Structure 1
Amino acid sequence: MFLKSDLLKAITFRNPVRLPLAYWVLVLIRFGLTFWPQLGYLHPDEFFQNVEVIAGEIFTIDVAKTWEFNPKFPIRNIFIPKMVLGPPLHFIRIVNPYTKYYFGIDLKTPYYLLVIPRLFVCLLSFINDYSLYKICVLYGQNFKNRLVIFASSYIVIVYCCRSFSNTFEMIFFSILLLFVAECMLKSDKIIYHDEFLKEKYEEASTAVEKVKLFKLKMHLPEHSLNRVVILATVVVIGIFNRPTFVGFAFPPIFFWLHRGLGSKVVGFKDFHVRIFTFILCGVPIALLLILVDSGYYGYLTMADIESRQWSWDNWVVTPLNFLRYNSDMKNLTKHGLHPRWLHVLVNVPLLFSVLAGMAFITLWSNTYRFIRGHYGKLPRIQSITGLMLFSLVIPVALLSLFPHQEARFIIPALVPLVYLYGNRLHPNESDGPSHRKLKKILLYTWFIVNASLTMFYGFIHQGGIYSFANTLHREIKATYGVHTYVISTHSYSIPSYLLQLESTTKVYKDRKSGNRYRLTPTTFLYKYGSMPMDELFSKVDDVLTNAEMLLHEYKKQYRFYVATPCSLEAELEEAASKYYYFKLIEDFRYYPHFCTEAVPRFPGHRDPYCVESNLKVNESRVVDLNMFQRISCYFKRFCLKIYRVRPVTKYDK
């Protein structure tokens, strides 16, 4: 049973269950790297699909609402982000005045705005750990080895502590697997006793024995509709969070519906009753989520409710909009089309490394047994192994049908994968010397690969964005009213909520005159992706011209930055040299920063930028670099460089 006492036993040091020391070390690492914080920036969706939108409403600040939240055609449900990220952001809003007054700590700074929501998500991620632990306990499996493997995965340390909708999807999937596994075990026990009593009843020779057996049979608990309300609720919420959850929910619900089917006491009547009841239980929560979205996006107002005058146009179903949007190939092309083998051949090995290899070997051997007709050696369809195997294969196969494939889409598959193969990485007493050696090599490989990927995705990938946002926030607050222009290229967008920009849509009232007014924006963020340098500097020219006009006509002081990876230094300076009336001055460099849009090229023997940075040669650039200098120069290009743009004056000539 999923009880509070069980959860407390599993996550506190006072519990009777002795979890391995390695697991507690990994728990501390998960919290520690969240506090640090992780500077890596995995994907814009970790901010712009959730925390950016909710922060804008709670703090009443200017944020960037993406096309997914466009009221004309919304495709994102707002209930889950509000429930998950609302509490930590409301905590910051409520507590901040007291921390500033008593301790001089401002919680509305990039560090706390980044870390506090992540800590809350990190706490929720332990639902995955607990679900895996409880499933292992229910079925008498080794939970210690599996928990260590699970907690050491970079998916858990990095992805599961970020506010991705995929992170929430993984939590819902874990809960679903736990409850279905529990229902399967309970049904198996009750069906076994039911069949046993039925046989004894038929064999009984006296009426007294038959009555006694009949009473025992009547006292068996109901199991057919176990957890139906919770399961239906989790499935509906998961689908509204991400419609792709249908692929993850299908195997567990399939196994839940088929519990005991084919036995003497469970027939197709029970199967159809389960389906009908499951659908019926999902209707109320679906209607609630539709109501929430319809109200949030302005389709349904209180006036409509009070007048009881509404039509189909008053309702919005975000999962249907999501499917409509993604069914159009033109829309998918905007976000990038991928080959359908990408998940299987690239993303699965990238995410699961050693476990992925073990899964491929097992699936290949099971396919071979099926072809050869050795059905007895295949996992039993109604077993926990069958549940986990189908919960691993079906979602990945279904998501592989779509031409837009990102690695984070399949991170929930980690839970069944660890259950199936996590224990096989640890040597045991029955293994021979060569087998034990192989397992140790695989185990060390798992730890090394995941530690490396934790460092890469947690701290290096797009790692300069947060540091730049931190600097930008301090400058904006220190020079209030000065216009700030930022153009970024070949990097992800800066999350606006970290800058705490005052709202330009809120209506303020002047205390003296009583007049109402709105603030004009003073910070402008431009994100131009991988735009060619010539086109980029055309934009720079336009922005600078506008800033200079406001300076001369309205005395609006400004600062103007261009943020670009250091690997584009040569191309940037070459394009800037064509504009004689403004110049670029390097202001900051942030290390480390890696982006796939601008991977540095390994320098040659006479790279002019390496010569200047390493050898400080003033006159001649024709100097041979040794290998150490070239490697050093190469790693120095993994940074984000910030240039200040200003017009050329007579003092520069």
Structure 2
Amino acid sequence: MFLKSDILKAISFRNPVKLPFTYWVLIGLRFALTLVPQQGYIHPDEFFQNIEVIAGDVLTVDVARTWEFNPKFPIRNIFIPKMILGPPLHFIQLTNPYVKQYFNIDLKTPYYLLVIPRLFICFLSLINDFCLYRICTLYGQNFRNRLKLFASSYVVFVYCCRSFSNTFEMMFFSLLLLLVAECMLKSDKVIYHNEFLREKYEQAKSAVERVKLFKLSTHLPEHSLNRVLFLSTLVVIGIFNRPTFVGFAFPPVFFWLYRGLGSKVVGFKDFHYRIFVLIVCGIPPVLMLILFDSVYYGYLTMADIESLKLSWDNWVVTPLNFLRYNSDMRNLTQHGLHPRWLHLAVNIPLLFNVLGLLAVFTVTGYIYRFTRGQYSKLPRIQSITGLMMFSLITPIALLSMFPHQEARFIIPVLVPLVYLFGNHLHVNESDGPYRSKLKNLLRYSWYTLNILLTIFFGFVHQGGIYPFTDNLHREIKATYGVHTHVITTHSYSIPTFLLQLESTTKVWKDKRTGHKYRLAPSTFLYKYGSMPMDDLFMKIDEVLTEAEMMLHKYKKQYRFYVASPCSLERQILDTAKNYYYIELMEDFLYYPHFCTEALPSFPSHRDQFCLEKNFNRNNESLSLDLNFYQRISCFFRKFCFRVYRVRPVKIHSN
């Protein structure tokens, strides 16, 4: 006979355990790499999709508000980035005066503006670790091996500490998986005990025994609508953060609705009731987020509320605008069209390497068994393995239907991927010699590849942008009022908020006279992408002419920089010869800097430009051939970021 205490103990989830030392080392390394800081620049969206805009609101500085935040047609929700990035930026704004006074440290410099928000996001990334750990302990799985593999992934070291909306999406997805996993386990246990007590009740011969069994069944906890409010709110927030969250949320939500279906105590009536309650509970957060966006983008004002003259034009639904924008193929073409197999063939191996390949082979095997009718060899639909498998396959399959595919879109599936295949890289007692060697090889490959990819994406990819921005910020502050013109080509855009330029849109007020005014801009950033060299120099000519006119007419001193990858050095210098009145001086050099927009070509053995730049320091003859070592050295020297100072050529009269 089951007692009440036995039943409650069976559905208890408390199971304290110790985490492995290696995992704590990896956590410390995650924060250490964030503090260094990582100067790698993965994608412009890590700045311009979130923190650039929030920094402009909080710190009152000039920023580049991208088209996604255009009030005429906004497609990005502002609530989630404000809740995640607002606290560290408000911390900088509030504490900076005291830190400057007592410690002589300025928090409004590129280093702290970069590191403090990243540290906060890095701390929030532990949500993913916790969710993986809890799911493993709930279902009695080995969490130690999985946590070590998860924490050693370069996706965690790099992506999970940046302000991508995909990073936030990963946290929401992990929490959703944990909530559903808890609900599934609780429902399974409650349903099992409920059916057991019903069976005993039907078999009972005396009224006294039936009364005892009935009382025991009344003490079983409710489970059908467990965590429904949290679940619906999390789904709504995830969709407003990125509407693609629908693909990630679908499997967990379906498994939550499907719990216990087919048993004696749960039927289709419960299934439809759960759907209804889930939708009703999602209405308040939807209305709250719509209201927040409508106020922020200026669609709804206090005057509208006071007059109660509200119409459909007073509301903006950013996820709907997102879908409308991306449903137009012309818009997707502007951002780049990719083959629909890119996630499967490129992005999965790039992000998850060994584990990604294991998943591809395993899923291929499942598809083969399904087509052969071997259903008993597939994961059970109501099991945790089924939940994780569908949570891995479904988002990738749905996102692969869209022609615009970037690797970061699928980083949230790392949690179910590690849960399913993390233990496959560690040797078990039942493994034979060949299988043990294979697992060791796969595990060492995992660690090696993730170390290399952490270095590449964390420090090398577009690695010259941040140090150049840091130096530029110092120059601007040291020479206040001097006009600064910066042209960047074949590289990502400079994050404007790191420069801390005084706002030119805010209305300032003179304390003495009360006169209101706006500041005129003194720093001008020109982003020309991969513009052809001849067109680029036409722009350089225009900017230089305008700067010289301001100098002679209004005595406005200026400095003018052109920044580009070193692989374009020969083209820039050769084109500059056609403009005899423009002088280009090599001013700064930042190494390493890798960019796919201007990949260097491997030099030939008679590459005279390579000889002139790198090997002719002692006036040696230029007729010598480069040996293979020199060619390799010259090739790697091209992975840098060169900054040229632009000046007009001074003509001396006799």
- Same fold at TM > 0.5: yes
Kept in 2: contact 1:194–1:220 (CA 8 A): yes
Match of 1:508 in 2: 508
Deviation of 1:25 after TM superposition, in Å, equals 1.2
- SS of the equivalent of 2:486 reads strand
Match of 1:625 in 2: 626
Point out the more displaced range, 617-626 or 533-542.
617-626
Structure 2, unmatched stretches of 5+, are 1-12
Query: Aligned in 2, Cα 1:103/1:652: closer, same or farther, shift over 3 Å?
Result: farther
Distance (whole Å) between structure 1 residues aligned to residue 476 and residue 225 of structure 2: 58
Distance (whole Å) between structure 1 residues aligned to residue 134 and residue 187 of structure 2: 17
Deviation of 1:441 after TM superposition, in Å, equals 0.3
1:467 and 2:467 matched: yes
Point out the more displaced range, 213-222 or 283-292.
213-222
Kept in 1: contact 2:54–2:86 (CA 8 A): yes
Distance (whole Å) between structure 2 residues aligned to residue 270 and residue 398 of structure 1: 28
Distance (whole Å) between structure 2 residues aligned to residue 65 and residue 543 of structure 1: 23
1:415 and 2:422 matched: no
1:124-143 deviations in Å (ceiling 9; x for gaps): 00000000000000000000
Match of 1:371 in 2: 371
Match of 1:158 in 2: 158
Distance (whole Å) between structure 2 residues aligned to residue 92 and residue 121 of structure 1: 15
Match of 1:650 in 2: 651
Distance (whole Å) between structure 2 residues aligned to residue 637 and residue 274 of structure 1: 60
1:54 and 2:54 matched: yes
Distance (whole Å) between structure 2 residues aligned to residue 95 and residue 277 of structure 1: 44
Point out the more displaced range, 353-362 or 289-298.
353-362
Distance (whole Å) between structure 2 residues aligned to residue 554 and residue 133 of structure 1: 65
Instruction: State the 4+ residue runs in structure 1 displaced beyond 6 angstroms.
Output: none
Distance (whole Å) between structure 2 residues aligned to residue 473 and residue 257 of structure 1: 54
1:133-171 deviations in Å (ceiling 9; x for gaps): 000000000000000000000000000000000000000
Distance (whole Å) between structure 1 residues aligned to residue 77 and residue 257 of structure 2: 28
1:601 and 2:601 matched: yes
Kept in 2: contact 1:606–1:621 (CA 8 A): no
Kept in 2: contact 1:351–1:407 (CA 8 A): yes
Distance (whole Å) between structure 1 residues aligned to residue 323 and residue 219 of structure 2: 47
Aligned pairs for 1:79-478 (under 5 A) are: 79-478=79-478
Kept in 1: contact 2:616–2:622 (CA 8 A): no
- SS of the equivalent of 2:216 reads helix
Aligned pairs for 1:542-553 (under 5 A) are: 542-553=542-553
Deviation of 1:514 after TM superposition, in Å, equals 2.5
Distance (whole Å) between structure 2 residues aligned to residue 624 and residue 121 of structure 1: 51
Deviation of 1:651 after TM superposition, in Å, equals 5.2
Kept in 1: contact 2:353–2:446 (CA 8 A): yes
- SS of the equivalent of 2:492 reads coil
Counterpart AA for 2:641: L
Counterpart AA for 2:645: R
Match of 1:3 in 2: none
Kept in 1: contact 2:533–2:572 (CA 8 A): yes
1:226-254 deviations in Å (ceiling 9; x for gaps): 00000000000000000000000000000
- SS of the equivalent of 2:286 reads helix
- SS of the equivalent of 1:650 reads coil
Distance (whole Å) between structure 2 residues aligned to residue 68 and residue 122 of structure 1: 25
Deviation of 1:577 after TM superposition, in Å, equals 1.1
Match of 1:635 in 2: 636
1:614 and 2:618 matched: no
Kept in 2: contact 1:611–1:617 (CA 8 A): no
Distance (whole Å) between structure 2 residues aligned to residue 483 and residue 60 of structure 1: 20
Query: Aligned in 2, Cα 1:156/1:652: closer, same or farther, shift over 3 Å?
Result: farther
Aligned pairs for 1:510-529 (under 5 A) are: 510-529=510-529
Provide the TM-score with structure 2 as the length reference: 0.97
The number of residue pairs the alignment matches comes to: 641
Counterpart AA for 2:110: P
Distance (whole Å) between structure 2 residues aligned to residue 180 and residue 172 of structure 1: 12
Deviation of 1:619 after TM superposition, in Å, equals 7.6
1:503-558 deviations in Å (ceiling 9; x for gaps): 11111222333321111000000000001000011100110010000000000000
1:416-470 deviations in Å (ceiling 9; x for gaps): 0000000110111111111111100000000000000000000000000000000
Deviation of 1:16 after TM superposition, in Å, equals 5.8
Counterpart AA for 2:520: T
Give the RMSD, CA atoms, in angstroms.
1.4
- SS of the equivalent of 1:360 reads helix
Distance (whole Å) between structure 1 residues aligned to residue 391 and residue 648 of structure 2: 60
Deviation of 1:200 after TM superposition, in Å, equals 1.4
- SS of the equivalent of 2:269 reads helix
Provide the TM-score with structure 1 as the length reference: 0.97
Distance (whole Å) between structure 1 residues aligned to residue 301 and residue 637 of structure 2: 56
Point out the more displaced range, 609-618 or 428-437.
609-618
Distance (whole Å) between structure 2 residues aligned to residue 218 and residue 152 of structure 1: 47
Counterpart AA for 2:369: R
Match of 2:7 in 1: none
Distance (whole Å) between structure 1 residues aligned to residue 512 and residue 370 of structure 2: 83
Deviation of 1:393 after TM superposition, in Å, equals 0.1
Deviation of 1:602 after TM superposition, in Å, equals 0.9
- SS of the equivalent of 2:85 reads helix
Counterpart AA for 1:325: Y
Distance (whole Å) between structure 2 residues aligned to residue 605 and residue 367 of structure 1: 52
Distance (whole Å) between structure 1 residues aligned to residue 431 and residue 40 of structure 2: 40
Deviation of 1:17 after TM superposition, in Å, equals 2.4
